[in-house]
Amino acid sequence: MTGNNLIFYFSATGNSRHVAQCLQMANGGILVPMDTCLLEGQHKFSVDEACSVGFVFPVYFWGLPTIVADFIAALQLDGTPQYTYGVVTYGTSMGEVRHQLRKALVLKGMRLDGLFGVRMVDVWTPMFDVSDHDKCLKRTQKAEAQIDKVALQIEHHEVGSRHWTELPHLLAQLEYRLYPKARQTRHFSVMDDRCTGCGLCARKCPTKAIAMNSHKRPFWQKSECAACLRCLHHCPHFAIQYGKHTATHGQFVHPTEIYNA
C-alpha cells in the first residue's frame, strides 16, 4: 500500500479508533487497522520522506497488546518516514509502552520520535467497573481536549517528552508478565440464557479465536487470544463474561463505535 501519512491502529472498544480518526481529520493520512492486516497477511507498505507514520493503540498490562507487537514484527515498510510517533490510550498508566514500542521499531530499522497518551475509559472489566455510564461519558468527553492537543503536537512533529504516568521498566514488567496468563481463553464463559446466537463475537474477534458450534453458541477454538474483550463489550445481550467479576462491571464502547450484527 502506498500513500501519504499512515496511521496504523488497533482498537477493541473504539477508544483508539476514535483517536486515530481524529488524527486523520486533523492531519490527513490513511487509517490502517493492524488486526485486519494480520488476518489478511497485509504487511507491505510504502512511504516517502515527507510522510509520517503513527501507531495508535491501547495499553495492555502496562505494555503492548500482542496484536500491535505482532504487526510491527511483520511490518515491511518501504521508505523512511520523516516522523514516527505513537499514541496510546490508557486508563491508569502508560506503563513501559515507550520502551517496548521503541524496541519493536528499532528491530525494524525505525525510530520512535514522539509518544503521546490520551486517558480514556479503562475497559479491563475483570478489574474496573464501567457500569456508571455518566462517569464513562464524562471521561470520554474530557479526552477530546487531550486528543486535540496530541493532534497539534503531531502536526508540529514534536518529540514527545516523558509522560507522568509512565513507569520504570522493572515495575512495569511485573504487570506485563501477567498478560500471557490473561490471554488464556479458558477465562471466558457464555451465559446461555442471554446468548441469542447472533455470532457477532466470532465475526469481530481480532484473532479469530471464537467460532460458533452447531447449537449457535460461541466457543473458543484457540487457547489464547489478545484479551482485548471486544467480544464481551460488543455482545448485544452481555452474554460473554471473563472471570468472576465482569457480570457486575458493565460494558463500554466508545460513543462513535458502530457495529452491525
Q: Which residue has the higher pLDDT, 170 or 239?
A: 239
* Per-residue model confidence as pLDDT tens digits over 168-191: 777 888 899 999 999 999 999 999
Q: Give yes or no for residue 258 having a pLDDT over 90.
A: no
Written as nine digits, the cell of 6 is 499512515
Q: How confident is the model at residue 165 (pLDDT cuts 50, 70, 90)?
A: low
User: Which pTM does this prediction carry?
Assistant: 0.95
Segment holding 146, helix H or strand E: helix 133-155
pLDDT of residue 168: 77
Assign 261 a pLDDT band (cuts: 50, 70, 90): very low
Q: For the purposes of burial, counting CB atoms within 10 Å of the CB of 247, is it exposed (0-12), middle (13-18) or buried (19 or more)?
A: middle
**Alpha carbons 237 and 240: distance in angstroms, whole number:** 8
Whether domain 6-177 has CATH 2.160.20: the reply is: no
CB 185 within 8 A of CB 207: no
The two most distant CA atoms of the chain are separated, in Å, by: 56
- 40: buried, middle or exposed (CB in 10 Å: 19+, 13-18, 0-12)? exposed
The rounded mean pLDDT for the chain is 94
pLDDT tens per residue across span 98-139: 999 999 999 999 999 999 999 999 999 999 999 999 999 999
pLDDT score at 178: 96
Confidence of residue 260 (pLDDT cuts 50, 70, 90): very low
Residue 22 has pLDDT above 80, yes or no: yes
pLDDT reported for residue 163: 64
What is the residue extent of each domain of the chain?
6-177, 183-248
The C-alpha atoms of residue 74 and residue 214 are separated, in whole angstroms, by 35
* CATH assignment, 183-248: 3.30.70.20
